[in-house]
Amino acid sequence: MDPAYHEVITRRLELPLHEGPDKTATLEEAVRRHVEAGDTLYVAAAHGRPNAAVREIARQWWGKTPGFTLAAVGVGSPWTALIHGNLVRRTITTFMGEGYPFPTPQALISRAVLDGRLELQAAIDEDVRRTVAFAKRQRTWFRSERSIDWIDAAADPLNAALPRLRAFLDA
């Protein structure tokens, strides 16, 4: 290797002495050092689910009540150990159940919700927040559209819309 490249790589990538010889850690050690009670656990939903990490969290926290928040696009079987073990208190998700071969409720998750061990309000709050933000973006975009004839939905939208609809259909 060219000595100039070696010097640049060493200078840019070398770890400070106080960080140790490298930053690698076993999964067990990483969970012990970085996962704390009250954390929000974001678990990806795709083919590359972090199943090993979820199971290691379950092993280390089983029998405790850390009050985790579980954030995922969908919450299903891979995450039930966290819910069944009372490790998760709240969820931020859009779907709770099984997706394959077709969407169905997941019994352990449903039971935790019905028993009051798992809160859904976080998901509802997040959905409301995102819907409001989306509506604001739409309103901003629609304001620039001159062809839109606005109707006040707070008033009587049906009576306001009918004459406009008749005029459109008659044109």
Residue 120, C-beta contacts closer than 8 angstroms, at least 6 positions apart: 91, 96, 113
- Written as tens digits, the pLDDT of the chain (171 aa) is 788 888 888 877 777 777 777 778 899 999 999 999 999 999 876 555 678 899 999 999 999 999 999 988 888 877 889 998 999 998 888 778 887 777 788 888 888 888 888 887 656 677 778 888 888 888 888 888 877 778 887 888 888 888 888 888 887
Q: What is the predicted pLDDT for the residue at 8?
A: 83
Q: Which residues contact 79 (CB under 8 A, 6 or more apart)?
A: 43, 54, 70, 72, 88
What is the rounded CA–CA span in Å between residue 110 and residue 126?
20
The domain spans of the chain are 26-170
Q: Alpha carbon 80 to chain centroid distance? A: 16
pTM: 0.58
- C-alpha 137/C-alpha 156 separation (Å) is 24
User: How confident is the model at residue 75, as a pLDDT?
Assistant: 81
Count Cβ atoms below 10 Å from residue 31 Cβ, excluding itself: 19
Strand order in the sheet with 68-71: 40-42, 68-71, 88-92
Amino acid 138: pLDDT:
84
Q: So what's the pLDDT on residue 68? A: 96
Provide the pLDDT for residue 82.
Answer: 92
d(CA 71, CA 91): 6
